[in-house]
Structure 1
Amino acid sequence: MSEHREPQLPADLRADCGSCFALCCVAPAFTASADFAATKPAGKPCGNLSADFRCGIHTRLRGSGYPGCTVYDCFGAGQKVSQVTFGGQDWRGAPRTARRMFEVFPVVRDLQELLWYLTQALALPQAEPLHPELALLRERTERLTLGSPEELLALDANAHWQAVNELLLRTSELVRADTLADRKKQRRGADLVGARLAGADLAGANLRGAYLIGADLTGADLRGADLIGADLRGANLSRADLTGSVFLTQPQLEAAKGDAATRLPPGFSRPGHWPVRQHS
């Protein structure tokens, strides 16, 4: 597979919880399940949220029945909504704006995720012919995130997602040009739940939106694979090689299993629940 330089993702695309008013602990709803120990409606603070906007069980979320929280990433939307959109005014201090803040948060979160993908795409030399279009769309997306609450709530988010996704798909095809004719590697949206793919050659594969829940990818070659939207919950990535994978996100890694031998692209963190030593 062709090599590419890894993106230097800016700090504003990474969550800064200290500059956020715990929006991810309030705005979304969640249901009691394997991911969450209790049910919480949208707009209601989680029972574990303290007065200083910190999580009371942050260091033991998985053991306390909240693994769903560990795989969530706002891509920097929390601090942007808290400090930019609402000028540092928290929802407790200004309860009249709370509802609007909670409604704006998921809109900005989706835009920030798009910025993450566009930033990655701009770091791909194979996609150089598309760099001008990618740069323009990234600039437009950044401007949208800086809109007023009213502008953000009026945004046709689906239309913008479609425009970005079309360009990202063209980017992916340029990166994976050597494997486009291989039908075995065109697994977009495929149902691969629990699939036995240990040692599989998936280099350059199209796994966009594939369901890989619980799949055995031990030792699989995923170099250059397009993983945008792939569901990796419970997938075993032990000894797998993800270097150069396209549109990978940290939440995908957090939702999966891996080990010390899993090869990650630069800039990604090895999840804390993965073993720190390689099994013999």
Structure 2
Amino acid sequence: MPEKRELPVLNAAAADLRSDCARCFGLCCVALPFDASSDFAVGKAAGTPCANLRDDFRCGIHHQLRERGFAGCTVFDCFGAGQKVSQVTFAGRHWRENPVTARRMFEVFPVMRQLHELLRYLAEALEWPQARTVRGELRRAFDDLDGVTRGSAEEITGADVPAIRQQVNGLLLRASELVRAEVPGRKKNHRGADLIGARLRGARLRGAVLRGAYLIAADLSGADLRRADVIGADFRDADVRGADLTDCLFLTQAQLNAAKGDAMTRIPSTLTRPGHWLS
């Protein structure tokens, strides 16, 4: 799990876009299903509490998740959706109180998580000076989407998430292009590429498009990924030792947690170095 320290927020509006387990009722440990695999020691069905969930809604093996076979938990991020559902949508009522409340919470949480992920990306783009020409659109999109997340349970589950995602992604891509345009030379486009196990040691990927790329177990050691757009890229077991991720666009903590880095890996100031990385 990442080391705990105070981090600067992306901007004032993004303060609630980081998960706060103390304000959540363990929704990711109950609402979501997972199968027994290399990421989870055992499987469970959706709506069934994980065996490691305590009565106080905390994880009983939080500091031993990787050692106990639950690495998948360490790379999950709800982007603050858990506390939004727990404290705003359901006003502090938890799923143990009532079966009807439980069912509705478990339906809302996955939708809220997708919406909060988009909010997190919008919040990041709002900070980029290079994207000032689209800042008004970004701001409106953020405010509109934030309004959706503050609706009733029925309004949230009724949201057309694919349509919202398509609209927001188009705006995020425009913002990304404005930032990457400042990188000199021709930029590589690996959008959605299968780069599983690829040998990219020392690769010059500055300003590249890696949106949705499969970088599972890829060797990115020493690579230059500054201002590369990595939204949705799969970094599971990717070797980023000595890589420069300083100004990666849309890089999340979950992506960092999934990768294998070291003390020489350069990361954005808004993220924290995972505790399992080599020193």
Following superposition of structure 1 onto structure 2, how do residues 104-253 of structure 1 map, counting pairs within 5 Å? Answer: 104-178=108-182, 182=186, 185-253=188-256
1:7 offset after TM fit, Å? 3.1
Matched with 1:18 is: 22
C-alpha offsets along residues 70-107 of structure 1, whole Å, 9 cap, x if unaligned? 00010001011001100100110122210110000011
Query: Using the alignment, how far apart are the partners of 1:12 and 1:178 within structure 2?
Result: 31
Paired-residue identity, %: 61
Matched with 1:45 is: 49
1:130 offset after TM fit, Å? 0.3
Q: Secondary structure at the match of 2:156?
A: helix
**Taking structure 2 as the reference length, what is the TM-score of the superposition?**
0.94
Q: Secondary structure at the match of 1:12?
A: coil
Indicate conservation of the 8 Å contact 1:186/1:205, yes or no: yes
Moved over 2 A (4+): 6-11, 178-183
Match of residue 278, structure 2, among 252, 267, 275: 275
Matched with 1:265 is: 268
> Which amino acid in the other structure matches residue 60 of structure 1?
Q
Matched with 2:98 is: 94
> Which amino acid in the other structure matches residue 144 of structure 1?
V
Indicate conservation of the 8 Å contact 1:201/1:222, yes or no: yes
**Taking structure 1 as the reference length, what is the TM-score of the superposition?**
0.94
Query: Using the alignment, how far apart are the partners of 2:58 and 2:189 within structure 1?
Result: 43
Indicate conservation of the 8 Å contact 1:234/1:256, yes or no: yes
> Structure 2: 5+ residue runs without aligned partners?
1-8
C-alpha offsets along residues 23-53 of structure 1, whole Å, 9 cap, x if unaligned? 0000000000000011100010001111111
Query: Using the alignment, how far apart are the partners of 2:112 and 2:199 within structure 1?
Result: 37
Residues 154 and 226 (structure 1), Cα distance of their counterparts in 2 relative to 1, 3 Å cut: same
Question: Does structure 1 residue 61 correspond to structure 2 residue 68?
Answer: no
Count residues with an aligned counterpart: 271
> Structure 1: 5+ residue runs without aligned partners?
1-5
Matched with 1:28 is: 32
> Which amino acid in the other structure matches residue 80 of structure 2?
G
- Of structures 1 and 2, the one with the larger relative CO (CA 8 A, separation 6+) is 2
